[in-house]
Structure 1
Amino acid sequence: MAENKRRNPKQGRARATVDAILEASLQILETEGEARLTTNHIAEKAGVSIGTLYQYFSDRNDILAELGQRQAETMRNEIAGIVAAAPEQGAIRAIIRTLMQTGETSPTTRALVTDALFRTRGEGVLGTHHLAFMDSVSGQTDLTASLSTEAAFILTHAPISLLRAAAAEPELGLDSDRLEDELVRLMESYLAALSAR
């Protein structure tokens, strides 16, 4: 695999250009579908030249992966906020709902950008986000302070892995409300078992 030579946008104008490219990509995905997501169409919709697009992104998959990265960061920050607030009731449901509905995008788009993130940056990306999440909530609640590395792994990886599987198996016709209920039941049961030790 060739090394990615894209520029890293450090100045405000460069960051604005990257943001415009990513926003245009999301708009195309949401309104026109994946088939219309070409680099030429993205550049046109973003109001940049195709050369400018290629200064920052090597191809369409690179754009999708960056959208997936931003989605994952948004999700991580939202969940860290839920954990920091430590509400007495509904924290698990709020976390599961965040995992299922992060962003203003459709489930199809969320699945597409998540797949691109894993495909482009490797399966280790989940571990990277796990460590960043654990660092961000470290010491904020009694729960995170008492979790073993293995228990923390189960709590972060199980729902994400199950949701990835659900997105990959649309033929199962899973009802999103029922799936949410079952994931909440799974996580609450696991936490109850940890507390009972």
Structure 2
Amino acid sequence: MRKLPTQERAQRTIETIFQTTAQILESEGEQGLTTNKVAQQAGFSIGTLYQYFPSKKAILSALIARERRRVMDELDELMESAEHHTDQLDPKRFLRQFIRINIEGLGSGRSAKRAMIRFAWQHDHHEEITQALRETAERIAISMQRIDHPNLRPPTPAMMFVVTRAVIGTIRSASLEKSPLLGSIEFEDELVRLAWRMLSQSGDY
């Protein structure tokens, strides 16, 4: 971003740009997305948009980064709660909450955000996106290693790599394929079952 939104009006402008970008992506795809179109549909001059973003790539990168931060903040909040209530922790319930946050943040999104998430997955060969996804997976692995429960296997690097890639990879595939399963309880159940079998001592669901 060229200019950081320090005032409430500037923050509203940024939010409007983000929402409009996501809506255009959803309705017209990447080919239909231009800075001129974003400015026009958002009700701004192109000059106002350029005060904050020099290109559509800059808008998309900032939007993707913000959504990734939101997911990480939700995961951190969940982990903090778990660490303060380890004696009352239900590992299956915790795992379901953990996976639900990832499904919503990295797959199903909210309304027009699905197209933005799909765009991020489609461009994960770009180094900046690849790095962002790598950091996300590593953060998830670190968070899961903090759980100390008798029903869970002691975490190892190999186990955590496989679990996180299995969960994120499944969400990625569902997003890219525009699967109607995204957001369904059946999809969530299967991911919880998969992860639990890999993490639990017994391997049973």
- Partner of residue 21 from structure 1, selected from 7, 17, 22: 17
In structure 2, what is the equivalent of residue 7 of structure 1? 2
Give the percent of matched residue pairs that are identical in Structure 1 and Structure 2. 29
Letter in 2 for 1:52: T
Going from structure 1 to structure 2, the CA distance change for 1:96 and 1:141 (only over 3 Å counts) comes to: closer
Q: Distance in 2 between matches of 1:128 and 1:100?
A: 17
Letter in 1 for 2:49: L
Structure 2: segments with no counterpart, 5+ residues:
83-88
Matches within 5 A, 1:41-120: 41-86=37-82, 87-88=89-90, 89-102=92-105, 103-106=109-112, 108-115=114-121, 118-120=124-126
Letter in 2 for 1:91: F
Q: Distance in 1 between matches of 2:139 and 2:175?
A: 24
Letter in 2 for 1:114: A
C-alpha contact 2:35 2:46 (8 A) present in aligned 1:
yes
Report SS of the residue matched to 1:51: helix
* Matching of residue 123 in structure 1 with residue 154 in structure 2: no
Matches within 5 A, 1:167-182: 167-170=175-178, 174=181, 176-182=184-190
Give the C-alpha shift of residue 54 in structure 1: 3.1
Q: Distance in 1 between matches of 2:172 and 2:144?
A: 26
Q: Distance in 2 between matches of 1:148 and 1:8?
A: 43
Q: Distance in 2 between matches of 1:129 and 1:109?
A: 19
Letter in 1 for 2:186: R
Q: How many residues align?
A: 187
Going from structure 1 to structure 2, the CA distance change for 1:23 and 1:167 (only over 3 Å counts) comes to: closer
In structure 1, what is the equivalent of residue 86 of structure 2? none
Q: Distance in 1 between matches of 2:3 and 2:164?
A: 30
In structure 2, what is the equivalent of residue 183 of structure 1? 191
CA RMSD of aligned residues (A): 3.6
Going from structure 1 to structure 2, the CA distance change for 1:129 and 1:104 (only over 3 Å counts) comes to: same
Which has the higher mean CA deviation after the structures are superposed, 114-123 or 156-165? 114-123
Letter in 1 for 2:158: E
